[in-house]
Amino acid sequence: MSSIPYKRVEQKLFELFVNQIDYEALANVDDNTSIIVSIPRSEIVKYVTIQQSLAVTKSMMEKSITFLDFNRPEIEYEHLSIFSRISYQDGVLEFETNHAIGKYLKDFQKQYARYNLEKIQSFKYVYSSTMYRILKMHMGQKRFTFSYTVNELKKLLQVDENKYVNFYDFNVNVLVKAHREITQMSVDNIQFEYNTGVRQRGIETIYFKIDTPFANSEADKSDFLEAITMNPDLVLDNVRAVMDMKYNFRSNHQALILENKSLLDKFVTLHIEFEHGLHPKVKNRTAYILTSLGLVYKSK
């Protein structure tokens, strides 16, 4: 997990930078390679004026990113400068990264990328966007339940250690407000809940659960894999009934899917995703599944 002490407008520019990275090209470069990301003026002025960007980017140059690892007996961390250069010329803002963070850039896609910037820029509370980043990071790693100690979460949310010392104040002023903003705005359809377990006093750990169509579909897929291991015949009968009721497969296609474990798993995955509202633009689900499974091909 990484943390940057950015102010609100700095964070907006950083998120814009992260979303402009070509992650496919990045996958093929050396870990110590620096990259250059160019952002046109038309994108910059959505979040900050060009005159304001002078002071904002200067401040960004002076700050470091902290990479934290809580999965060790003792916390481990590394502080690194993010950028070696930030410049604005001929209507283009250019970010050049420090080569030392090259090994971490590939993980930015999971932790930061694909933000809904249009919506989160209207967050009223500063901790909402940081909480949103944490949720997106876990979703990117297909982790829908997780926990942090209170101290860990305060560090990640960049809450001053001398602020909101007791949990009640931290909860009311940070967690409740962030939860309300994120869930009420339906940013990326993220719904989440948190609790402190059975403890009412001396709270040390906060437990989170993310509830999204994707998360629910992942849970159903997990249940399917468990069920087919325990009672494959019953599961196949149920899958066959679903095919007959909801799809228009030819008998040969249906037989191929039911007899091939890989095709069966893919079919169930797509069916569950359809049931949870994913792929909303697909009009012909039967054709979509057959194409995805490689059983028919789109005409050119």
Distance between CA atoms of residues 294 and 275, nearest Å: 21
Q: Is the pLDDT of residue 90 over 80?
A: yes
255 confidence band (pLDDT: 50, 70, 90): very high
Q: Which CATH class is domain 1-108?
A: mainly alpha
pLDDT of residue 269: 85
Of residues 51 and 48, more confidence is placed in 51
> Does 194 or 120 have the greater pLDDT score?
194
Element (H, E) at 268: helix 261-275
Q: Which of 83, 144, 111 is nearest to 19 (CA)?
A: 111
Q: What is the pLDDT of residue 113?
A: 47
Domain residue ranges of the chain, discontinuous segments joined by +? 1-108, 115-211, 214-292
pLDDT in tens, 91-113: 999 999 998 888 788 777 655 54
Is this prediction's pTM over 0.75?
Answer: no
Sequence-ordered list of residues with C-beta below 8 angstroms from that of 249, at least 6 positions apart, any chain: 243, 257, 286, 290
Q: Which residues of 43-70 are buried (b: 16+ CB within 10 A; e: fewer)?
A: ebeebbeeeebeebbeebeebebbbbee
Q: How far is CA 87 from CA 13, 26, 60, in A?
A: 13, 22, 12
Domain 115-211, second-level architecture: Orthogonal Bundle (1.10)
- Mean pLDDT score across all residues of the chain: 81
Burial class of residue 200 (count of CB atoms within 10 Å of its CB; 0-12, 13-18, 19+): exposed
Summarised one tens digit per residue, pLDDT across range 125-169 is 888 888 888 887 777 666 788 888 898 899 888 888 889 989 999
d(CA 31, CA 27): 9
Taking residues 20-24, what's their average pLDDT? 79
68 DSSP assignment: E
Query: Position 244: which residue type?
Result: D
Place of tokens 């964070």: 11
The per-residue pLDDT for range 205-238, each reduced to its tens digit, is: 999 998 766 555 565 666 666 666 667 777 788 8
CB distance 50 to 44 below 8 Å: yes
Decide if 93 contacts 38 (C-beta within 8 A). Answer: yes
